[in-house]
Structure 1
Amino acid sequence: MRLFLPLSFLLLLLSLPARADDEYDACVSEAGAVMPDMGACGAAWIDREDARLNEAWQALLAELPEDSHAKLREEQRAWLAYRDASCLFYLDAVEYGQVGRYLSYPTCRAFVIAQRTAALEEIQASVAPI
């Protein structure tokens, strides 16, 4: 029963259209049922989201006056602490097993990063000159 809830939750997440990227979907399909391979797909997805985040960060810094950089860096440090603490419950082998480690954790982490990227992009749009 413990595995049913996380697995059904994961299937729900994977069914949402804007949640995963096409590369992740293709990678998971190719991995078949090999959990470590599926985990590698998730790690690659996290890397892609990190790259998008870094691009958004650099673009935002370029738009902001120098005086605002310190406050934004402080906010980003707080978010990094949140990111690092997020989704760790999926790594509990007793509760979530391999599904948590190889599918749920990377999916959750990629979502957290994507949300921050969207927030940075919204901030940039709000401060960009008209």
Structure 2
Amino acid sequence: MRLALPLILVLPLLALPARADDAYDACLREADASMQDMGACGGAWVEREDARLNDAWQALLAELPEDSQPMLRDEQRAWLTYRDQTCLFYLDPVEYGQIGRHLSYPSCRAFIIAQRTQALNEILASVAPM
């Protein structure tokens, strides 16, 4: 079994989705320009991306040999730290205000999570039996 490491290293640069999912777009149209409603739309989008991430994680763990799982868990812990630190600048009330908190921050988080999901799916494709 060989992991496609060069692809995994390049994926973060290529995997960033171009736009939000359809549910987020629909939610924003119905939000009546209320920042709190828009923030709720972003929160729901992040939750959907988290669910996809968890599905990818479970699928990968099911295929990965047990002796490789600790390395993947270490990698995931490092990614969780990265995720938690990424996009925080949008929460700066002076620079971004309500738009940053309710629109930019959740969008950034959802993109980061989607990126990791795609990376996990690429790892899965490289280790799953054909």
Q: How would you bin the TM-score normalised by the shorter chain?
A: 0.7 to 0.9
CA deviation map 1:66-103 (0-9, x unaligned): 00010000000000000000100000010001110000
Unaligned 5+ residue runs, structure 2?
A: 1-16
> Corresponding residue for 1:4?
none
Residue 37 of structure 2 corresponds to 37
Give, in whole Å, the separation in 2 of the partners of 1:65 and 1:106: 34
Aligned to 1:108: 108
Partner of 1:81: 81
Higher relative contact order (CA 8 A, sep 6+): 2
Q: Which runs of 4+ in 1 moved over 6 A?
A: none
Matched residues, number: 114
Tell me the equivalent position of 1:12: none
AA matched with 1:29? R
Q: 1:32 & 1:109 partners in 2: Cα distance?
A: 23
Q: C-alpha root-mean-square deviation of aligned residues, in Å?
A: 0.9
TM-score (norm 2): 0.86
Higher helix fraction (1 or 2): 1
Q: Percent identity?
A: 77
- SS of the aligned residue for 2:43 comes to helix
Q: Alpha-carbon deviations, 1:95-127, whole Å to 9, x = none?
A: 001110000000000000000000000000011
Matches within 5 A, 1:91-130: 91-130=91-130
Structure 1 unaligned blocks of 5 or more: 1-16
Aligned ranges for residues 56-75 of structure 1 at < 5 Å?
56-75=56-75
Deviation at 1:44, TM superposition (A): 0.3
